[in-house]
Each structure stands twice: as structure tokens, then as C-alpha cells.
Structure 1
């Protein structure tokens, strides 16, 4: 069967009557016939018109042609549906892969960054009051100061490890708020250790109090990160 549509060739509706088919043929034959001596004369076009009329003017051949045309259109629609279904399935699979990869990235970040960082900084935050209470027995005692300095050195070491771990991989977008709270927590903790170290050099209690306040802020930021994680898991 030709690739073109006879109804389109004659510029008529598929439900056209025999009279309408004849009228359309006469109109087009007059326009495109090579003997018309007009600018629109076209041998190839008149061949197409004659072929279309030959089929559509014969009731039996027209019925057969209509059935073929229907089968082609049905097959085309079925292929289109299949293509749409395949495209939708591929899109769904891509979305599932992206979702799966995002879940894996999130789980990796929680296991390899968030939890290790917390394990390093929680002992620092919770031990400060105990250390200050021990130092309060005699802030000018060399042995107590030395012990407090050793404690701060250990804090600095653990904080450095926490900062390295935090920077080891980018955070997933769902935990951007968590990462921000944790980042500021580490910064406040570092500033707090700096202030406490200054106290051991000049015994100015201003640095001691400032260091405690910065530790308190760091603790609050860690709690903010913890609460945000709970909301994500919920």
C-alpha cells in the first residue's frame, strides 16, 4: 500500500460520498493535468490523483483500502502507545535510580560524616564543666593548669579530626540544614577552645567565661542538627 493517504490526495474527508469524490477528482484533474497549459500542471501530481480516484471511486476497492488504512492507523497508534509506555517506564526507572542514589548518598553521609563527627565532639562538649570544676579548686595551681592544658590539647586534636571528617564529602541536599548547624557548631567549639587556652596563659576569667559561652552555643547548634536529623527520618 502506498505511504500516502488517498483521501488527503483528493483533499476530502474519509466519509466523503461518491459524488464528493468525483467532484474533488474533477477539480484537481483540471488544475494539475499536463494538458491544461497552466503553471499548476504537474505530471506526478496527476498520477497520484488518478491513483486515488481509481481506488476511492470503486466501492469494493474503497472498502478494502479503508480497512488497510484503519489497520495502519491502529498499528501506528499502538506503536505510539508503546513508545509512550516505554518512555514513561524509562523515566520512572531513572527517577527510581536517582532516588536510590540519593538515599545511598544520604546514608553514607550519616554513617561516614554525621555520626563520626558527633562521636568526636560530644565528649568535648560534655566534659568541660567537669574540667572547670576540677580547675576551680585552685586556678593558679601549676599541676591543675597543666592538666587543663592537656585536656584542651586533646579537645583540639579531636576537633581537628571532626573537621577533617566533616569536610571529607559534600552533604546531600536534604541535610543542608543539618550540615550548616554542624559546621557552625565546630566553628564555635574551635573558638571556645581558643578562649580557654588564653585563660591558661593569663588567668583572665573573661576568657574562661567566654569559652564556656561558646561551648554552650556549640552544644545548642549540635542539638539543632540532631533535631533536624529526626525530622528527616520521620
Structure 2
């Protein structure tokens, strides 16, 4: 569930076009744009269509206000898609039930929620929820070896839990009628993994940007996890 994997899912996304994370700073986006333009410029044997694609992505992300508008629009679109997926799922279950096919399909959803989603949700809580206390303890003195060792232990334990999470996610296919829910879960997993990576980078060089980015990613992942829990209840499957 690397960042590259997330970008594979988001073709057409300006972040994917510029090969950066959605958490990238404006400086990182600018550097990526310059690097790719130089790499793909027709004078260097590149593709003019690729340059047009890069320029279009830069127009969206290079300006801070346009980037914020894009983020708002994307969030709104994701929420609409999630709600539409839930409505479609309920309509699909009703149609299958009417045709005598609903029982088996609903059973597959129940099995997936119990065997995949529920244990993943528990593992994520064990990564996301302890973070504020871990950060508060480290903030007392980031250069204290004992405090830093405890923080690194939290990161290592979190990485182990995320490995189990990835195995769980791949253990069963997502039922067709809850595919949107499964995709949202995947994005949550990716965001938590990226956050832990940023925190690990902080421990290796005390660069505050890594700590800030990791903290923000976990905050957003916590909100995404909460929305998933609400959506799980709306599925109305026991």
C-alpha cells in the first residue's frame, strides 16, 4: 500500500500526474513539476502530450487557492460517491432479495465485514489512538534518548500492525456491492501507513516537517476511520 499504489488508483489526479503525495508541500510540488518537465520536454526526446498533462496538473496544484478548491471538490466528490455507493448497495440487496439471490450475497458481505473490516478497524485503532499520548511524551524532550526510544518502539509496533492489516485486506475480495466502502478503507490504510513513514523519517533527522505531516495524516485518517464506522452502521447488516 505504497504511495505509488495509491496513485495507481487515482489516474487523472494531478497529484498522481506530478508523482507526489496529496500531503506534499508547495515546494515539493514545484520541485516535482520542474523535474518532470525537464525529463519529458520534447527537446530532450520527451512526449509533448505528457508536458500538457504536467502543465494542467501544475495549474491546479501550483496555486495554493486552486489547490484548496480542488481538495474541497475532491472531498465533496468522495462523500457523494460513498453515499451513492451505500444507496446502490441497499438497492442492490433489495433487488437480489426479491429475485431470491440476496441471501448468499448478503452472507458474503457479513463474512467480509467480520473477517476483514472488523479486525482491520481494531488494528488501526491501536495505531491511531495511542499517537497523541506518544507525541505528548516525546514533546517533553525530543532529544532525550529514553523518550525517543519509546517513540521509536511505537513506530515499530505500528509498522508490524500495518503489515498484518495489509495481509488481512488481501485475504478476501471485497464484495461487489460494498466496493466503494472497501476502497475508502484502502485509502485509510494507505494514509496511516504514509503517516507512520513520515514519523519514522522524523526520528532519523529531527526534521519538524516530517513530524507535522505525520501528525496531520493521522488526524485525517482518524476522521476517515470515523466515517467508515458510520458507513458500516448504515449498511444495516448484522
TM-score (norm: length of structure 2)? 0.57
Structure 1 segments of 4 or more deviating over 3 A? 92-95
Q: CA RMSD in A?
A: 1.8
Query: Are residues 1:228 and 2:228 paired?
Result: no
Query: Which residue of 203, 209, 228 maps to 2:206?
Result: 203
Which gives a bigger RCO, structure 1 or 2 (Cα 8 Å, sep 6+)? Answer: 2
- For these two proteins, the number of residue pairs brought into alignment is 142
Query: Which residue of 95, 102, 106 maps to 2:99?
Result: 95
Matches for 1:128-207 after TM superposition, within 5 Å = 128-207=131-210
- Indicate the structure (1 or 2) with the bigger Cα radius of gyration: 1
Matches for 1:22-33 after TM superposition, within 5 Å = none
Indicate conservation of the 8 Å contact 2:195/2:217, yes or no.
Answer: yes
Aligned to 2:80: none
* Runs of 5+ unmatched residues, structure 2: 1-95
Query: Which residue of 119, 122, 133 maps to 1:119?
Result: 122
Deviations 1:141-165 (A, max 9, x none): 1111111111100000001111110
Q: 1:110 to 1:128 in 2, by over 3 A?
A: same
Distance in structure 1 (CA, Å) of the matches to 2:227 and 2:179 = 12
Distance in structure 1 (CA, Å) of the matches to 2:108 and 2:150 = 41
Distance in structure 1 (CA, Å) of the matches to 2:203 and 2:110 = 41
TM-score (norm: length of structure 1)? 0.58
